């Protein structure tokens, strides 16, 4: 009893304070918490507010209603029970007849109540009727109307079944309520609400009236303040209005004349809105709704399709495409089919008329129009292709067509074929047409005009799945001839790309007629340049799985066999090309490592060659060394920890051992071509995962430090420094790392003349991982800027730090 009295006292105090304070929001929140915590009840709040809710003074009634509405707004939606909400609903509905000063708070309370999960299902129709009877929406302020629209949005979404029982009464009431709204914030709310309303509630005899209410806003004539970050834009209103005007098929007879009228106006925004509106019409309206307007629609569209305004042209193309799609995709009768066929033929014939000469200004516009039509549907595509392709083929064969014209015609033909959804496979009627297309491509590919030849080959890539057997055989001969003899790099690359595409579709053919025959290395062993071209072409095909096992070992044999300069250069460059191709992934890398032992063979081959000091044209070549290192690094980067550990254990000692060995890559006194082999060591150790252990790491870092600071060869110095930096970046942050950094700092500062490269790389490695020592190293590098002897090198060091490394070597990277 005492607890109840205490709770009542608290509630009384809160109500008293809320009534007297101008801004009572905080007190209303406290009251809501009391109810939520079961310290009080909604019934008690209503009871204690009764003197205010029923007072003769409108101001006191307004105050009491405001407190009740505000408290409701702060109570969780699922908290109040149906029995409580019934009483509140009845009260608020009755208060809709009250003084105008009270109404805004009543609406606020009803909105809060509508958001409650346990609102009685029979309450919304009562609320709606009372609002229609007693509230004149256009007399309310903007935020008050906004609350009404929010309320109706909730009721339409959650209580449509109950509201449907009101029939046309609800439709008329809502229509009257929104009619004449001018505030852009409210309009956006209304427009977003209407499509669901229109699809849910039958309009009946009010269909045209409803459309008239909405269409008075079309096109949107409103421009907001650009400086307002929360502004409602004209475009957002236009985009929200469009689904309202196209929500129902029954709107077609009102909507299409309206958009045609606005499309013919001189206002640019009206044209754009009308074209977008037509796109919306095509998603909702039926053939029957659009049928009688087709001539007018195409006539207006045609004018905009050739307009100079790019944006209007783009929207017109989209509208035409969607119109054709709608017309050719819906079920239709024979008469309608004939009507559509006539319309399509007219569009195509007009387009072909403008495509009679590539020099005509309308050639490309007509092309874009017919491509849009072809993309609309398979039916439209066939209609376009059957007429456009013969026209393009005939024009191509005209003697008056120059090389530039032939290129344009080939590109245009390929574009039509590329978007074509119908092929001889799906429609045998197109077989003859596809033969003509293949013949044009073959003729073009055999001409001595590089750009025409390239476009002809490219065309075969597009029609690759539909090329007949005899033409494919001739194409393989042509491609191989181009690979061996063509001067144009672009043409050769297009031919190889074509071969790669055909190898995916016809692997057995390509294997027999190309790989084991015309491009096999043994066929061209007498000419190094041709041999390189053949092997390079095979590289492109090698990433296609059936060809990997027969081509890759052949390329490796070029390197690991008896050293021959031309073969080694061919093999190594082709290996690099192979592993850097976009579609060469971990699976190919694993094959190279496991099945071909590519890493072991390459490293051993280099060590053997450098140890014997023979074939200097091969083993003194910096370019071949760099290419080999790239191959090793890329293959090893994608391998597992266990495989990487095996490689480290096998090869690191071979670089470390110097006593009695001719191969001394880490000895600063060794010949330059040997110290440059540190690049191979970097390729082996830089791509390792962070938890792969490196034997003799301390000794290795010491040797690399000496090599970097003592070598006069820039490549040697840079590679050694980069590898030390990689070790430091991946090292665990412990006492060993701190000691190592202190030792390196003291040694490098003392020999700054030769140490800037290593100093810069170590600084970069620390900054990348966000190590605290990075600041000290950076400050020292800044100090070097003032040294006349090494200032420019220090500046280069900062450029190095700011540059981004392209290779992913599992380094620590911390975003700053």
CA distance 221 to 269: 9
Instruction: List, in order, residues 6 or more apart from 49 with CB less than 8 Å away.
Output: 15, 64, 67, 68
**Token output for 97:** 């007849």
pLDDT at 3: 46
**Token output for 274:** 């009308």
Instruction: List, in order, residues 6 or more apart from 12 with CB less than 8 Å away.
Output: 48
Average of per-residue pLDDT across 46-52: 91
> Between helices 363-376 and 378-397, what is the axis angle to 10°?
150
Read out DSSP for 105-156? HHHHHHHHHHT-TT--TTHHHHHHHHHHHH--GGGS-HHHHHHHHHHHHHHH
**Token output for 799:** 């450029």
**Token output for 234:** 């004209």
Percentage of the chain with pLDDT > 70? 97
Peptide bond into 219 cis (omega under 30): yes
Average of per-residue pLDDT across 95-108: 95
Is 50 exceeded by the pLDDT of residue 381?
Answer: yes
Instruction: Kindly indicate the confidence band of residue 5, based on its pLDDT and cuts at 50, 70 and 90.
Output: very low
Give the tens place of pLDDT for each residue, 66-77. Answer: 999 999 999 999
Residue of 527, 628, 613 whose CA lies nearest to 571? 628
Give the tens place of pLDDT for each residue, 656-671. Answer: 987 667 889 999 999 9
The dihedral formed by the CA atoms of 396, 399, 405 and 410, expressed in degrees to the nearest 10: 20
Give the tens place of pLDDT for each residue, 112-155. Answer: 999 999 999 999 999 999 999 999 999 999 999 999 999 999 99
CA distance 715 to 727: 19
> Between helices 641-656 and 622-637, what is the axis angle to 10°?
150
Average of per-residue pLDDT across 79-100: 94
Burial (CB < 10 A; 0-12, 13-18, 19+), residue 686, is buried
Average of per-residue pLDDT across 553-558: 88
Average of per-residue pLDDT across 388-416: 93
**Token output for 391:** 């026209």
* pTM > 0.85: no
Is 90 exceeded by the pLDDT of residue 62?
Answer: yes
Is 80 exceeded by the pLDDT of residue 728?
Answer: yes
With beta carbons less than 8 A apart as the criterion, state whether 533 and 484 touch: yes
Give the tens place of pLDDT for each residue, 584-638. Answer: 889 999 999 999 999 999 999 999 999 987 888 899 999 999 999 999 999 999 9
660: left (phi over 0), alpha (psi -120 to 50) or beta: left
Burial (CB < 10 A; 0-12, 13-18, 19+), residue 663, is buried
Average of per-residue pLDDT across 437-466: 96
pLDDT at 816: 45
Percentage of the chain with pLDDT > 90? 77
Is 80 exceeded by the pLDDT of residue 225?
Answer: no
Instruction: Report CA-CA distances (Å) from 184 to 214, 239, 246.
Output: 14, 13, 20
pLDDT at 368: 96
pLDDT at 788: 83
Burial (CB < 10 A; 0-12, 13-18, 19+), residue 332, is middle
Give the N- to C-terminal CA distance of the chain in Å, as an integer.
63
- Residue recorded with tokens 């009260």: 91
Instruction: Kindly indicate the confidence band of residue 526, based on its pLDDT and cuts at 50, 70 and 90.
Output: low
Domain boundaries, the chain: 245-307
Higher pLDDT, 602 or 545: 602
CA distance 738 to 740: 5
Query: Lowest-confidence range among 391-405, 449-463, 522-536, 662-676?
Result: 522-536
Average pLDDT score, the chain: 92
With beta carbons less than 8 A apart as the criterion, state whether 671 and 713 touch: no
Helix, coil or strand: residue 356: coil
Write down the H helix ranges in 466-506: 469-485, 489-505
Q: Count the Cβ atoms, other than its own, within 10 Å of residue 561.
A: 12
pLDDT at 150: 97
> Between helices 735-750 and 752-769, what is the axis angle to 10°?
150
CA distance 21 to 18: 5
Q: What is the largest CA-CA distance in the chain?
A: 114
């Amino acid at each position: 009893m005492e607890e109840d009295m205490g709770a009542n006292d608290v509630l009384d105090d809160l109500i008293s304070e809320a009534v007297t304070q101008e801004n009572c929001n905080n007190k209303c929140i406290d009251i809501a918490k009391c109810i939520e915590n079961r310290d009080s009840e909604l019934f008690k709040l209503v009871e204690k507010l009764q003197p205010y809710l029923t007072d003769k003074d409108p101001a006191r009634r307004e105050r009491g209603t405001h407190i009740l509405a505000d408290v409701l707004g702060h109570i969780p939606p699922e908290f109040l029970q149906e029995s409580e909400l019934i009483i509140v609903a009845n009260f608020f509905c009755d208060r809709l007849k009250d003084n105008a000063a009270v109404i805004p708070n009543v609406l606020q309370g009803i909105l809060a109540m509508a958001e409650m999960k346990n609102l009685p299902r029979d309450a919304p129709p009562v609320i709606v009727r009372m609002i229609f009877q007693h509230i004149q929406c256009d007399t309310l302020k903007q935020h008050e109307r906004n609350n009404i629209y929010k309320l109706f949005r909730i009721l339409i979404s959650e209580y449509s079944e109950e509201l449907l029982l009101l029939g046309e009464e609800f439709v008329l009431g809502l229509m009257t309520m929104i009619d004449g709204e001018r505030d852009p914030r409210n309009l956006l709310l209304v427009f977003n609400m209407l499509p669901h309303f229109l699809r849910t509630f039958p309009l009946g005899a009010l269909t045209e009236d409803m459309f008239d209410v909405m269409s008075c806003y079309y096109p949107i004539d409103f421009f907001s303040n650009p400086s307002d970050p929360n502004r409602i834009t004209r475009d957002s209103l236009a985009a929200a209005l469009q689904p309202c005007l196209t929500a129902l098929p029954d709107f077609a007879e009102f909507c299409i004349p309206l958009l045609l009228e606005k499309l013919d106006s001189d206002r640019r925004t009206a044209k754009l809105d009308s074209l977008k509106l037509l796109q919306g019409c095509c998603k909702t309206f039926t053939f029957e709704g659009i049928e009688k307007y087709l001539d007018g629609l195409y006539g207006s569209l045609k004018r905009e399709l050739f307009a100079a305004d790019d944006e209007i042209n783009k929207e017109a193309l989209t509208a035409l495409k969607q119109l054709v799609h709608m017309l050719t995709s819906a079920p239709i009768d024979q008469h309608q089919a004939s009507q559509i066929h006539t319309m399509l033929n007219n569009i195509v014939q007009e387009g072909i008329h403008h495509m009679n000469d590539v020099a005509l200004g309308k050639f490309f516009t007509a092309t874009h129009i017919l491509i849009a039509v072809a993309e609309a549907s398979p039916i439209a595509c066939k209609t376009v292709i059957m007429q456009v392709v013969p026209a393009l083929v005939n024009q191509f064969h005209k003697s008056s067509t120059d090389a530039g014209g032939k290129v344009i015609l080939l590109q245009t033909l390929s574009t039509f074929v590329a978007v074509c959804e119908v092929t001889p496979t799906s429609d045998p009627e197109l077989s003859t047409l596809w033969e003509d297309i293949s013949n044009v491509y073959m003729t073009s590919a055999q001409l001595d005009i590089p750009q025409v030849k390239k476009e002809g080959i490219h065309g075969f890539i597009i029609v690759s799945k539909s090329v007949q057997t005899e033409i494919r055989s001739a194409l393989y001969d042509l491609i191989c001839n181009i690979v061996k003899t063509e001067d144009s790099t672009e043409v050769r690359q297009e031919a190889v790309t074509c071969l790669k595409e055909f190898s995916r579709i016809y692997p057995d053919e390509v294997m027999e007629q190309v790989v084991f025959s015309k491009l096999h290395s043994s066929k061209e062993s007498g000419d190094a340049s041709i041999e390189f071209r053949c092997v390079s072409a095979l590289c492109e095909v090698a990433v296609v799985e059936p060809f990997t096992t027969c081509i890759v070992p052949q390329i490796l044999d070029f390197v690991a066999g008896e050293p021959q300069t031309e073969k080694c250069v061919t093999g190594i460059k082709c290996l690099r090309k192979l592993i850097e191709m976009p579609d060469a992934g971990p699976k190919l890398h694993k094959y190279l490592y496991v099945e071909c032992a590519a890493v072991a063979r390459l490293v051993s081959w280099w060590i053997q060659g450098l140890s014997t000091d023979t074939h200097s044209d091969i083993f003194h070549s910096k370019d071949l060394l760099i290419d080999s290192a790239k191959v090793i690094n890329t293959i090893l980067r994608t391998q597992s920890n266990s495989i990487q550990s095996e490689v480290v254990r096998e090869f690191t000692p071979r670089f470390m051992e110097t006593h009695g060995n001719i191969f001394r890559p880490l000895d600063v006194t060794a010949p330059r071509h040997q110290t440059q082999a540190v690049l191979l060591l970097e390729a082996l150790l830089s791509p390792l995962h962070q938890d792969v252990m490196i034997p003799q790491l301390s000794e290795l870092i010491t040797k690399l430090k000496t090599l970097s600071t003592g070598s006069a060869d820039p490549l040697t110095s840079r590679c050694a420094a980069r590898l030390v930096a990689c070790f430091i970046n991946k090292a665990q942050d412990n006492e060993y790392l701190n000691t190592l950094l202190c030792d390196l700092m003291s040694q490098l500062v003392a020999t700054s003349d030769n140490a800037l490269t290593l100093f810069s790389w170590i600084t970069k490695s620390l900054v990348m991982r966000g190590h605290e020592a990075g600041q000290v190293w950076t400050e020292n590098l800044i100090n070097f800027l003032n040294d006349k002897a090494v200032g420019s090198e220090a500046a280069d060091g900062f450029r190095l730090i700011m540059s981004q490394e392209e290779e992913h070597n599992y380094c620590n990277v911390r975003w700053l």
